Amino acid sequence: MGNNATFLHFMHRFIFWILFAMVTCFVLRILIVLDLNKRIYNHTPGPCRVLTEKYKGTAGLTFVESQKRVYVTLGYGKSHNMTTKTGIAFYNTNRTDGRSQQEMHDLIEMTINWNGYEHQNLFIPTGIDSFSSSNGRILLYVINAHPDHQCIHFFQVDNQKLNHRKSVCDSSFTSLQDLAVVGPDRIFFTNMAAFGRGWAQVVEFALQTGQGVVYYYDGSKLSIAAPTVNAPTGIGYDSKRRILYVGSLIRESLLAYKVAKDMSLDSMYEMMLLTSPIGLFVESKSGDVWIAAHPVLHESAWHYSNPERKNVHSSSQVLRIRIQEEGNSWVTTEPYANDGATISASSAIAYTDDQMIIGSSFGRLLHCDLTNSHIT
């Protein structure tokens, strides 16, 4: 009996310490992920101004060179039960067309012809990208973030109007984030987690189970391009180098994949950013990668849980990564950072002609002039 009692006592203590170690590791993971040790110091690359703050969210941006337009998705906050108008607008970056100073900073809303699409009342746009054909046709691809109707919508631009062409929906779409166009109706896009939101998603992130996915749509068929990615968010494509960049929210990194001719992905390297990337923009000429990020995740988590509270902010940050000529090294700079008072939860970025436009999850659209873009 004595030996049995000693063995049982040992097993109880052994199991207790194993469980204690597991719980401790879990808690430490959460604390590390939440960025409790971080602080943001405000700075700008030049004069900045608010383009709009009447929409609850300007969460997606894409730049079309041939039109000198930045297309903006409006109203992401509606997916978090905020009352707001949703839609798509554009900002004209051309400063040599004779417009007044006021007109240069106007945001122009677009009308949408849905062509009989029956779920148009469930449209909450977020991630967006574009394709320009050789004959001048402009196509937009937009993620719908409605919790009950996550899809990708295909539009054609007709001056200040959009014509809905088709949509792609699937039951596996639980937390669509962003997309990158690689050809007409050919897109890569990210699904961040197996669970859409709530405590189940929090636990998934804390355990870092890697249930995120990068999908590929070839115009007719949907496939998984990269399985088990740890919380993929923003995505961008360098067409010259055929490199696909994918941001990871939890790992605070940028993943690089080589895109083969058959559109399969080969992992190249991972850049550790020490901030959580949300939106990406890849310069077509230089290949520089611009990143809109959430640098302090515990602020972001509180902000996403309480988007209506004006005293709750989430810090914003923009990084610029210059890929060197050999392709396996890079230089990172921080053109913009803010504690959330000016722009909260930066989620999208576009850059052209020394102009930087920053979108946010639930609020303002910010425009900044870069006074020294060559060193920013």
For residue 261, give the CATH number of its domain: 2.120.10.30
Does residue 268 lie within any of the structural domains?
A: yes
What's the pLDDT score for residue 290? 97
Q: Annotated binding residue at 178? A: yes
In a domain, 19, yes or no: no
Give this prediction's pTM. 0.89
365 assigned to some structural domain? yes
- Residue 211, pLDDT score: 77
Q: What's the number of domains the chain is made of?
A: 1
Residues in Cβ contact with 57 at an 8 Å cutoff, skipping those fewer than 6 apart:
73, 74, 75, 76, 77, 78, 82, 84, 126, 360, 361, 362, 363
Whether residue 6 is contained in a domain is answered as: no
Q: Answer whether residue 156 shows pLDDT above 70.
A: yes
Tell me if 4 is assigned to some domain.
Answer: no
Of 112-121, 154-163, 206-215, 308-317, the range with the lowest mean pLDDT is 206-215
What integer pLDDT is reported at residue 179 of this predicted model?
A: 97
CB contact set of 239 (below 8 Å; sequence gap of 6+):
182, 284
Provide the pLDDT for residue 218. 95
**Domain-embedded: residue 266:** yes
Q: What pLDDT is stored for residue 85 in this prediction? A: 94
Tens of pLDDT, residues 28-69: 666 666 677 778 889 999 999 999 988 999 999 999 999 999
Banded pLDDT at 210 (limits 50, 70, 90) = low
Structural domain boundaries, residue 189 = 34-369
Which whole number is the average pLDDT over 242-260?
95
Which whole-number Å values give the CA distances from 195 to 201, 213, 305, in the listed order? 5, 12, 16
Owner of token pair 């890697």: 210
Classify residue 376: in a domain, yes or no: no
Query: Is 339 annotated as belonging to a binding site?
Result: no
- Where residue 375 falls among pLDDT bands split at 50, 70, 90? confident
